[in-house]
Structures are given as structure tokens and as C-alpha cells.
């Protein structure tokens, strides 16, 4: 049974990655400060403490690594200097993994690495991050790809687009809309004509599991391949909750830095990795709403 080190196992994608990795036969070793909810081997360690991380990796001697952990505080992570600590931590982690005998590593990137423009984003599109977060991820990838090339590590970079699903933190679009509308509160938003590529988090996690279980190297977009206007997504949530009256489109301006469209080209993910998503937008939103209602007793208790 191949042994995999998983970081970010308590995070949004990581929690969903555990069953996807188990389904593929991996023996999971989660590293981080808090134990994951699922029952897997857990090694408590501060991922920003490179010496301790190295000790754990030397003891675990995993063949595979899926590195999802990063600073992700909604609203803050785009511009925070904490991103710099995760650059250092990510590079030290992959190096220590390789030096402990690891052979296959996948880490999470972001669509914020790209120069956002009107076109569908293929993996070879130019990178020109508009944010410190995007630049930190972009720089980390460039360095790790060179390190992998030098040391013979099989390395891939899963570039995540937008996500929704059960367990989202407050401050994110779909989760906030569901919680407010199910609580009978108003949701104030932009006119909503910008198109974004959203995936259900369980699909994104399954895509990471498929990627780390494949021999594909380099960057692979992890998205739906089909961007929808934010307006369409919210109207669907309004329909599912029966409260279209609660959405105020245009109550907030769209930030000037928000591009008209962000859409993944998912040819590599589908053809080379062989991944197919389980949810489409309608079924994924319905699942998220049902799961949220079950968790919160239908009263939007997270707010």
C-alpha cells in the first residue's frame, strides 16, 4: 500500500481529499497542527518549523506527497506577508520529502498565478500574478520544478480555480449566499456578470488524488472547464432555497481588479490524468445546500 504524506488535511480541500486518497489505496499520514476529522495516521507538527517537519518525514518515509496546506484566511490571504512563510515552508517540505526517499509529489497552485485575461486559461498561458498570494505560489512552483528536475522527483502542480461545497469558511461566495438565504437574510452582491470557473470541492479533491496517483508532471489546471456568471450561480442558489427575493444584485460594485472571466482549460486533467468530475453546477450546489442544511439545522447557524 503506497504511503502518502498529506498537508492541509483539516482544510477545505484536504478534508475531502482523505476519502479520495483512501479510495485509491493510499495509506495516509496527515501532518499539521490539528488532527483531521477522519481516522488516519496523524503527526502533529507546525509546518512552518522546517526542522521538525524534516524529522517527521524522515520517520514516515512516504513514497507520495500531497501538499495542500497554505495560509488561506478569507479576505486577508491575497496580500498578507504570511504568504512568504508558506513559500519557505513549502520548499523545505518538498526537499525534506525528497531527501527522505519520496518519489512523487503534488502541490496546490492557484489560478491567481496566471495573467488574467479574456481567454480560457491553458497551463502554458503566461503567468503574471496580480497579487502577493499569486506571486508566492508562482515563485514556489518555479523553484520546486527546477528542484524536482535536478533531483529526479516526479512533480506536478495542481492549479486550483474557484471552489464551493460543504465546510466552506465564511467570507466565500457560495457558502455565504447559502447561509444568508437559508437564514432569511439579504445577500448584497455585485451585478454578477463576471464569469468564474467553480468546482465542487469534492471534485477538486478527487482531481488532486487522481493527479498524485498518476505519472503526469508539470502544471495541471483543476477546474470545471466551464465558467458561469456569478449571477447564474446565485440565481441557482436562490431557486434551491426558494428565496430569490433576498439577493440584491448590484448592491455592491465589482472591484476594478476583477476580470470579466476566469475559466480553466481542463484538457490535461481530463485527457492526461483521466479525471472526470462527479458533480455539475446544479447537482453540486444542491448537494452543498443539503449538506449545509443538515449541519446547521437549516437555521444558518454558522452566522
The residue ranges that bind a second copy (CB under 8 A) are 50, 79, 81, 84, 87-88, 91-92, 95, 99, 129, 131-132, 134-136, 138-140, 142-143, 145-147, 149-151
Nearest approach, Cβ of residue 102 and a second copy (Å) = 14
Residue nearer to a second copy on the CB measure, 46 or 280: 46
Nearest approach, Cβ of residue 287 and a second copy (Å) = 36
Residue nearer to a second copy on the CB measure, 131 or 214: 131
Q: Between the CA of residue 95 and those of 68, 153, 267, 277, 287, what are the distances in Å?
A: 16, 10, 30, 32, 39
Burial class (CB in 10 A: 0-12, 13-18, 19+), 253: exposed
Give exposure, 57-82, as e/b (b: 16+ Cβ within 10 Å).
Answer: beebebbbbbbbbbbbeeeebeebeb
Of 39, 33, 30, 40, nearest in space to 9 by CA: 30
Give exposure, 32-49, as e/b (b: 16+ Cβ within 10 Å).
Answer: beeebebebebbebebbe
Nearest approach, Cβ of residue 51 and a second copy (Å) = 11
Nearest approach, Cβ of residue 105 and a second copy (Å) = 14
Handedness of CA 275, 28, 169, 242 (dihedral sign): positive
Find the length of the chain: 303
Residue nearer to a second copy on the CB measure, 91 or 185: 91
- Distance in angstroms (rounded) separating the CA atoms of residues 97 and 40: 19
Nearest approach, Cβ of residue 79 and a second copy (Å) = 5
Residue nearer to a second copy on the CB measure, 131 or 190: 131
Eight-state DSSP code of residue 67? E
Residue nearer to a second copy on the CB measure, 82 or 296: 82
Nearest approach, Cβ of residue 84 and a second copy (Å) = 5
Residue nearer to a second copy on the CB measure, 113 or 168: 113
Angle (CA) 212-218-223 rounded to 5° is: 70
Give exposure, 126-148, as e/b (b: 16+ Cβ within 10 Å).
Answer: ebebebbbbbbbbbbbeebbeeb
Residue nearer to a second copy on the CB measure, 147 or 249: 147
Nearest approach, Cβ of residue 269 and a second copy (Å) = 24
Nearest approach, Cβ of residue 45 and a second copy (Å) = 17
Residue nearer to a second copy on the CB measure, 142 or 188: 142
* Ramachandran quadrant class, 181 (left: phi over 0; alpha: psi -120 to 50; beta: rest): alpha
CA atoms within 13 A on the CB side of 103: 6
Amino acid at each position: 500500500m503506497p504511503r502518502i504524506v498529506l498537508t492541509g488535511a483539516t482544510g477545505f480541500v484536504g478534508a475531502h481529499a482523505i476519502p479520495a486518497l483512501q479510495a485509491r489505496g493510499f495509506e495516509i499520514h496527515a501532518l499539521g497542527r490539528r488532527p483531521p476529522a477522519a481516522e488516519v495516521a496523524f503527526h502533529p507538527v507546525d509546518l512552518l518549523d522546517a526542522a521538525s517537519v524534516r524529522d517527521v518525514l524522515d520517520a514516515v518515509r512516504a513514497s507520495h506527497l500531497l501538499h495542500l496546506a497554505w495560509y488561506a484566511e478569507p479576505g486577508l490571504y491575497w496580500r498578507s506577508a504570511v504568504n512568504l512563510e508558506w513559500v519557505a515552508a513549502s520548499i523545505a517540505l518538498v526537499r525534506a520529502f525528497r531527501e527522505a526517499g519520496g518519489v512523487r509529489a503534488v502541490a496546490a497552485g492557484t489560478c491567481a498565478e496566471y495573467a488574467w485575461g479574456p481567454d480560457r486559461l491553458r497551463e502554458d498561458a503566461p503567468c503574471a500574478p496580480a497579487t502577493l498570494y499569486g506571486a508566492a505560489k508562482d515563485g514556489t512552483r518555479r523553484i520546486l520544478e527546477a528542484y524536482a528536475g535536478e533531483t529526479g522527483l516526479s512533480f506536478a502542480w495542481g492549479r486550483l480555480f474557484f471552489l464551493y461545497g460543504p465546510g466552506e469558511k465564511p467570507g466565500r461566495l457560495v457558502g455565504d449566499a447559502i447561509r444568508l438565504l437559508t437564514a432569511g437574510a439579504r445577500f448584497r452582491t455585485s451585478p454578477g456578470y463576471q464569469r468564474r470557473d467553480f468546482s465542487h470541492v469534492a471534485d477538486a479533491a478527487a482531481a488532486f488524488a487522481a493527479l498524485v496517483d498518476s505519472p503526469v508532471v508539470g502544471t495541471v489546471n483543476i477546474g470545471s472547464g466551464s465558467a458561469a456568471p456569478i449571477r447564474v450561480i446565485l440565481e441557482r442558489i436562490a431557486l434551491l432555497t426558494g428565496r430569490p427575493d433576498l439577493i440584491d444584485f448590484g448592491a455592491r460594485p465589482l472591484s476594478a481588479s476583477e476580470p470579466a472571466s476566469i475559466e480553466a482549460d481542463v484538457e490535461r486533467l481530463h485527457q492526461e490524468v483521466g479525471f472526470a468530475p462527479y458533480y455539475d453546477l446544479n447537482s453540486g450546489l444542491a448537494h452543498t445546500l443539503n449538506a449545509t442544511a443538515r449541519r446547521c439545522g437549516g437555521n444558518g447557524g454558522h452566522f
